[in-house]
A and B are shown apart, each in its own frame.
Chain A
Amino acid sequence: MTMVYLDYAATCPPSPAVLSEFKRLSEVSFGNASSKHAVGRDASRLLEKARLGILSSFGLNPSSYQCVFLSGATESNNLAIKGVSFSYKNRGKKIITTAVEHPSVKNAFEQLKNEFGFQLIVLPVNEAGSVEPSSLEAVMDNEVILVSIMAVNNETGALNDIGALADIVHRYPKAFFHCDVTQGIGKVKVPYSKIDLFSFSAHKVGGLKGNGALVMKKTIRLVSLLSGGDQELGLRGGTVDVAGAYCMHLALKESMEKFAEHKEHASMLKEHLLQGLSKIDEVVVNSPLDGSPYVVNFSLRKHKASVIVEGLSEAGFYVSSISACNSKGEPISYVLLAMNRSKEDASNSIRVSPGPEATIEDIDAFLAAMNKLLLEVRPR
């Protein structure tokens, strides 16, 4: 059976070079980076190398930025959002995010509002799924301490103008700008130096699951979320996964080096996929044309998306449907609802996110398999 994995926005296979390096490093540099002996120092040096490498991949100066190794983007988003809010709560109580953030951002903000009395402002998005800078401008004032806006939406690939949004925030000296760049690293241009703190994970660019980081300006003080030893600048206790962190650096470097080549390939696949989708009557595309080339999201008007995704999976094509559920337990996308799509469209969307090895033939085979299912499967 053919196996075509088109769900890179969920996760991707680790790069073979990274994986073999992980095995080697786990054997030779297994030390605890906090140990005072030679084995520990060896691990600690490797960790610093990874830190510098990551900052350099983003073009950031290690004298003014730092990189904290964490378990993934979820932890990184939580640490940035709660860490800033708790640390600067005496400056003001207003915090701002958008209606389409990843759950690890959305729910962190909701917790701050519901359990810690912060005043939460949720920015709307336009029909293309992006935040209008003017809507941020309208709500900014001197009470705001944190604004968090994602670079690339994980469901639709919609982009935000991070440069313009960061500029608005920086007009207010009390406010910090955080950005979830998980779907953006190595894939789209992001003005990293304009962001105060940003979060990402390793496994979306060929690194390993269980690794992620928060990159932040050194001047920012955070309250740590996990009490423990003084590892990772005292922000994250626990023995550091040195090999994993180093491999995140390698994976990131690899993806940055192949940035242009991969992007061109992805754009070509996206165009081909959109062309194929345009021939299917019941398909409406949700992803904006100028969004990330790596993500195509569309809704089915006649069939249940979850059934088609299941059928595709049986046929060896792996794509995503919405996994989050609304209050009634029915899966529905709050991202698409925020983009003013109907409830039916929002609960019948499919996300296709090919990786660099995907070919035009894979996309054709996927389209053929889906067309076949749309004929065979009973409509909803």
Chain B
Amino acid sequence: MKFDTVMIHFGELSTKGANRKLFIQQLLHNVRVAIKRYGLLTKADRDHIYVYLGEEDPTPILERLREVSGIQRLSLVAKTGKDIGEIGAAALSLIEKEAGSTFKIETKRADKKYELDSYGISRAVATHVLKNSSKPLSVDLHHPDILLKVNLREEACYLSCKEYPGLGGYPLGMNGKVTMLLSGGIDSPVAAYALLRRGIKVECLHFASPPYTSEAVIDKLTRILRQLNDYQSDIRLDIVPFTKLQEAIYQNVPEPYCITIMRRMMVRIAVGIAKKRHSLALATGESIGQVASQTLESIDVINEVTNFPILRPLCTEDKVTIIDTAKRIGTYDISIEPYEDCCTIFKPKAPKTKPHLDECQEYETRFDYASMVEEAVEGTTPIFVSEGEVVEPSKSK
């Protein structure tokens, strides 16, 4: 007897009614994609997804599944028949292989027609183990070394000793797609991760201002996105040519307002691209108060250019927490590589922290930004970052 099946427990799916089936189907699809290379059999029922391991080592598979959103918990289980003697024998065999001298049996009985109740099953199994064990074992109900869970279902009985937390959230793809503004800094990849965990697919946008920003930034971004490929296997990154507009801003707008106007332009361009790509919202890595353009006053003035939704998954996060997450998902070390991005070049000495809308509107009449916004939307080139490879269309220069 050995643990040869991974049992996937759903997360917030349990709150869903009619959509439940769709959610499970999507999750099953995502699980299959995630562990495709192992060629394992998978099966879903109303409450769980099962992955049959055969002879495969469970460790890398569990690790991979922990990166799939929509999974609350994973347990490594062994399947037995429902006869109480059979359950006892299986439990004995499994417990003897585990390290430790005290144990506890915990039973969940989904099959309500079974002749014993949960307590009865636990007691019968424990009695069998105690009587037949070849090593000295005792029961400890409070701090057992080994906790064996018995999950008695209608079709079979599942035994498990080990459980792992999943990523939580919803299955990727269930909650639509958003356009994420990616600068290359620490915050935006963490924001993208937060969306992915929630089951929201992302497409990314980057504003490039060559020659003020280096072509190397784009290589940096693809490396960041490759880290996120763990959660979404294909990510599209659109590179927006921003130099002309950015230069125009700095020619026509007083320095303290440059950042605010720049962000307003970025939002206009991003909305144009998001609509073309059928995204349902924009998303940014903004955290309230972090920098001048991220005060509530600034956000208000910047947001004024559109009624398209803008998600800010990190809006209340502390920088320290954001950095911790960035380190955990492996984007931090890449993010801190010193390349200038469109937000750091021409940085004004004293940016406006409480910009006024009427002033913004006045400055924007000074130059014909609409055609430049249009040009930027049209001039965008996509890069595709997929697990293991980057596909870049040949540049038309």
Residues of A within 8 A of B (CB): 1, 306-314, 325, 329-331, 373, 377-378
Contact = CB atoms under 8 A, between A and B. Distances in A.
B212 A307 contact: yes
With most chain B CB atoms within 10 A of its CB, the pick from A309, A325, A378 is A378
B247 A378 contact: yes
A310 B214 contact: yes
Given A1-B397, A378-B250, A378-B346, A311 B338 contact: no
B63 interface: no
A308 B211 CA distance: 7
B81 interface: no
Given A325-B338, A378-B247, A306 B214 contact: yes
B335 to A, nearest CB: 13
Interface of B: 210-215, 247, 250, 338, 340, 346, 397
A245 to B, nearest CB: 33
Nearest to B216: A310
A307 B247 CA distance: 14
A311 B346 contact: no
Contact of B210 (A311, A330, A378): A311
A194 to B, nearest CB: 42
Given A378-B247, A378-B346, A307 B338 contact: no
Contact of B338 (A1, A310, A330, A373): A330
Given A329-B338, A330-B338, A311 B247 contact: no
21 contacts: A1-B397, A306-B340, A307-B211, A309-B211, A310-B210, A310-B212, A310-B213, A310-B214, A311-B210, A311-B211, A313-B211, A313-B215, A314-B211, A325-B338, A329-B338, A331-B338, A373-B211, A377-B212, A378-B212, A378-B247, A378-B250
Contacts of B250: 378
Nearest to B251: A378
Contacts of B397: 1
Contacts of B215: 310, 313
A323 to B, nearest CB: 11
Contacts of A308: 211
A311 B212 CA distance: 8
Contact of A314 (B210, B338, B340, B346): B210
Contacts of A306: 214, 340
Nearest to B339: A306
A377 B346 contact: no
Nearest to A310: B211
Contacts of A309: 211
A331 B397 CA distance: 30
Contacts of B214: 306, 310
Nearest to B336: A329
A221 to B, nearest CB: 41
A38 to B, nearest CB: 43
B211 A377 contact: yes
With most chain A CB atoms within 10 A of its CB, the pick from B211, B212, B247 is B211
With most chain A CB atoms within 10 A of its CB, the pick from B250, B338, B346 is B338
Contacts of B211: 307-314, 373, 377
Contacts of A314: 210-211
A373 B243 CA distance: 14
A377 B213 CA distance: 12
Contacts of B210: 310-311, 314
A380 to B, nearest CB: 9
B280 to A, nearest CB: 35
Given A314-B211, A378-B250, 10 more contacts: A306-B340, A307-B211, A310-B212, A310-B214, A311-B210, A311-B211, A312-B211, A314-B210, A373-B211, A378-B346
A163 B393 CA distance: 54
Contacts of A331: 338
Contacts of A310: 210-215
- Sorted nearest first, the 7 A-B pairs with minimum C-beta distance are A311-B211, A310-B211, A329-B338, A307-B211, A310-B214, A307-B212, A314-B211
Contacts of A330: 338
B212 to A, nearest CB: 5
A212 to B, nearest CB: 26
A92 B294 CA distance: 60
Nearest to B337: A329
A309 B211 CA distance: 8
Contacts of A377: 211-212
A306 to B, nearest CB: 7
B222 to A, nearest CB: 18
A306 B212 CA distance: 8
Nearest to B397: A1
